[in-house]
Amino acid sequence: MSKPLYIHDCDKCLFLEHSHNYDLYCCSNEVIARFGNEPHEYIAAPIAVHLSPVLKIALDMAIAKKLI
């Protein structure tokens, strides 16, 4: 298991691993990817987006249309 490279100050988050220059976490109903030490240097998404087939379709369509 790897160790986090970046500061993450939420004691509720569970560190998963460091991968592709991101520290990956799970917290409540979100997954988090931290890419720096500054408070704003992370991205997060609700787990439901990844678990729901219909939301996955919507996400894939938005990416294909370059909306996100």
Q: Which residues pair with 32 in a beta bridge?
A: 25, 44
Q: Please say if the pLDDT value at position 15 is more than 90.
A: yes
44 domain-assigned: yes
Q: Please say if the pLDDT value at position 28 is more than 90.
A: no
Count of CB atoms within 10 A of residue 8's CB? Answer: 18
1 domain-assigned: no
Show the DSSP H helices in the chain as ranges.
Answer: 47-51, 53-64
Threshold 0.85, pTM exceeds: no
Q: Please say if the pLDDT value at position 1 is more than 70.
A: no
pLDDT, one tens digit per residue, over 41-68 is 999 988 877 778 888 888 888 889 998 8
Which residues form the domain of 36? 14-64
Q: How many domains does the chain have?
A: 1
